[in-house]
């Protein structure tokens, strides 16, 4: 005849109580949500139902912070940011165009993903650096819809620079050289493309291509600059493509706009001097990775 161990029955009771407690809380929450939707259908406020998602996200976020449950914090960050974005996009309080509504939605939602990284950093969980990628892409997309003239080059600048900074921060914090390289290249290339082709002026295509190549060369220079974070010594090989690109860019600019060649070379060369000066200061202070 089978016998039941007393410890197993004692362990089963708390589990049943926990499941029952979850059912009660979920039931109460569903009743409240349904009640708010029903009330709004009669009042026709246009905003009361929009408050459900951000309030729900704040409840998840507060509960996660209280019991130190990382999954609740992630869900709370996403629900809160998405709810705030939807509220800004659809609320009758703001007179926005369709593009502006989409911009605020993307910007708020992107900030929610960035909040995931911040919370993981503050509360001792494994740092969610990966959340920087969707967060920066969404926030950059929202920013370009709100603060630019919506040209293709505006998207290249905002999103390229945002993703580049995200990769660079992730790579520097995690000491991953494979992330530092694309981050540095995007940080140099995105502004280079924008300054070369989007700025007004009478530059011909040769000169504009030269500006773009010099910006790309700066990105390769940043690879060398930030390599000290990962390796015992600076890696100098990225300066080879940086030098080739810089010389080619200067040559194209001189051929396309010889009157402003000296000022352009002086301005871009000053950036290289600044990087060299910072490098010497780091070596003088003995900063190690």
d(CA 42, CA 128): 43
- Residue 277 above 90 pLDDT? no
In this prediction, residue 264 has a pLDDT band, given cuts at 50, 70 and 90, of: low
Max avg pLDDT among 89-93, 160-164, 206-210, 221-225: 160-164
- Residue 268 above 70 pLDDT? no
pLDDT for residue 246: 86
DSSP state of 94: S
Mean pLDDT over 59-77 rounds to 87
pLDDT for residue 48: 79
In this prediction, residue 220 has a pLDDT band, given cuts at 50, 70 and 90, of: very high
130/246: higher pLDDT: 130
Diameter over CA atoms, the chain: 101
- Residue 265 above 70 pLDDT? no
pLDDT for residue 286: 47
In this prediction, residue 251 has a pLDDT band, given cuts at 50, 70 and 90, of: confident
Q: What angle do CA 125, 127, 133 make, to 5 degrees?
A: 140
In this prediction, residue 244 has a pLDDT band, given cuts at 50, 70 and 90, of: confident
> 68: left (phi > 0), else alpha (psi -120 to 50), else beta?
left
Token pair in block for residue 40: 């709004």
- For residue 29, the tally of other CB atoms under 10 A from its CB is 12
Q: At what angle do helices 152-174 and 132-147 cross, to 10 degrees?
A: 150
pLDDT for residue 35: 72
pLDDT for residue 266: 65
Residue with tokens 């029952």: 20
In this prediction, residue 129 has a pLDDT band, given cuts at 50, 70 and 90, of: very high
pLDDT for residue 179: 95
Domain ranges of the chain: 39-147, 167-289
Helix (H/G/I), strand (E/B), else coil: 8: helix
């Amino acid at each position: 005849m089978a016998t039941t161990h007393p410890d197993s029955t004692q362990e089963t009771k708390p589990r049943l109580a926990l499941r029952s407690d979850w059912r009660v809380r979920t039931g109460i929450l569903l009743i409240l949500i349904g009640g708010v939707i029903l009330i709004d259908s009669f009042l026709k406020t246009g905003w009361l139902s929009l408050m459900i998602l951000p309030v729900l996200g704040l409840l998840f976020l507060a509960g996660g912070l209280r019991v130190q449950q990382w999954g609740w914090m992630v869900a709370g960050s996403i629900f809160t940011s998405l709810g705030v974005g939807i509220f800004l996009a659809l609320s009758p309080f703001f007179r926005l165009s369709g593009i502006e509504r989409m911009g605020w939605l993307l910007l708020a939602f992107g900030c929610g993903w960035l909040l995931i990284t911040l919370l993981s950093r503050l509360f001792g969980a494994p740092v969610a650096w990966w959340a920087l990628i969707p967060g920066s892409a969404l926030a950059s997309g929202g920013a370009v819809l709100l603060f630019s003239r919506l040209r293709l080059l505006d998207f290249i600048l905002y999103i390229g620079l945002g993703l580049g900074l995200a990769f660079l921060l992730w790579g520097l914090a995690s000491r991953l050289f494979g992330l530092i390289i694309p981050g540095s290249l995007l940080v140099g290339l995105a502004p280079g493309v924008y300054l070369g082709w989007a700025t007004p002026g009478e530059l011909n295509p040769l000169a504009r291509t030269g500006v773009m190549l010099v910006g790309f060369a700066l990105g390769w220079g940043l690879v060398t600059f930030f390599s000290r974070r990962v390796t015992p010594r600076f890696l100098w090989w990225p300066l080879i493509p940086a030098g080739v690109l810089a010389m080619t860019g200067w040559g194209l600019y001189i051929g396309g706009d010889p009157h402003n060649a000296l000022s352009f070379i002086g301005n871009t060369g000053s950036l290289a001097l600044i990087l060299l000066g910072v490098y010497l200061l780091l070596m003088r202070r003995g900063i190690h990775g």
